[in-house]
Amino acid sequence: MVDRVEYDEFGLFHENAEEFGLPFDGPPRVRRAWVEVGDGRRLSALVWKEGEPELVLLHGGAQNAHTWDTVAMALDRPLVAIDLPGHGHSDGPGPHPEGDLSVDGNAADVAVAIGQLAPAARAVVGMSLGGLTTIALTKQAPELVRKVILVDVLPGIKGARAKHIVDFVNGPRSFGSLEELLELTASFNPTRSLSSLRRGILHNAEQQDDGTWVWRWARHRPPAPEGGSGGAGMGDTAYEGLWESLSSITVPLLLARGMRSDSVLGDEDEEELRRRLPSARVVHVEDAGHSLQGDKPLELTAIIEDFVFGS
């Protein structure tokens, strides 16, 4: 008989609050929503609080909308965190030439979701793949993007810097137990608490009928080609045209850059951003790697609050 692990996606917020010292007098108001995006597919999102959403949050590759939970709780504002195509509870990507690596395909789907759930949002915050999707969104649906925050990402990330992420994403496709998955995740995120990693796994993986576990995004991942890597991740893809799209952005833009060695950006990337878009703001977050929302959620919250809502 399979030992099932209980999971209530809305029953873990007290852990976020306790770990980061946030006030907690009961579960926050958050619901899961779905939006039809065409081809019989739906995107899923977490809608936080009542009222017109003020922010849209887009996670990175191999993540899901729950990666923003601590940030959303700390912001305490109406917002929408979207599961990108093929991630979380969203259906897989549409018939785009590049499959789940299509930033333009992601942007087309996300535009539909934002148009229905958060058409008046004051900013779009995108981390990693979500940030690249945000850049593409500024070209495809500029009326939906009033400010941009990119979290540790710019176009054309060098493969060597992202290798640790690509290796993790292209690792085993299934795991014999939650403990096995937690051990792997802890080796990849040695600075995180075990409770936060377990919470992240429960949000980002699902237990199968035979008791094994599989990442939610791995359901849509194509097999790795002979001698190559699988289809989810950041690799050496240069995302042609995204630098040009970024250079054409006319709304305020901020880059929040992790300064730890496991960030994927270098000084030359930041210099290229400043050359192409002199109006861009850059904020360095010390002791943060690639996933600022997990490493330093309160610091990232303060950055978002100041840039979007400050005077």
Model confidence over 16-43: pLDDT tens digits? 999 999 999 999 999 999 999 988 999 9
Topology of domain 13-158+238-309 in CATH is: Rossmann fold (3.40.50)
Contact 284, 259 (CB under 8 A): yes
Contact 141, 111 (CB under 8 A): yes
Share of the chain above pLDDT 90, in %: 80
Per-chain mean pLDDT for the chain: 90
Model confidence over 169-180: pLDDT tens digits? 888 888 999 999
Q: What was the pLDDT predicted at 159?
A: 67
Lowest mean pLDDT, pick from 98-112, 178-192, 219-233, 288-302: 219-233
| Global confidence as pTM | 0.93
Q: How far, in Å, are 153, 177, 200, 282 from residue 205 at the CA level? A: 24, 11, 8, 33
Q: What was the pLDDT predicted at 221?
A: 65
Confidence of residue 238 (pLDDT cuts 50, 70, 90): very low
Lowest mean pLDDT, pick from 2-6, 93-97, 102-106, 220-224: 220-224
Model confidence over 89-134: pLDDT tens digits? 999 887 654 444 589 999 999 999 999 999 999 999 999 999 999 9
Strands (E), the chain: 30-38, 41-48, 55-58, 79-82, 123-127, 148-151, 205-207, 213-215, 253-258, 281-285
List the end-to-end C-alpha distance of the chain, in Å, as a whole number.
59
The residues that are catalytic are 128, 152, 290
Q: Where are the domains of the chain?
A: 13-158+238-309
Burial of 278 (0-12, 13-18, 19+ CB in 10 A): exposed
Model confidence over 138-181: pLDDT tens digits? 999 999 999 999 999 999 876 677 888 888 888 888 899 999 99
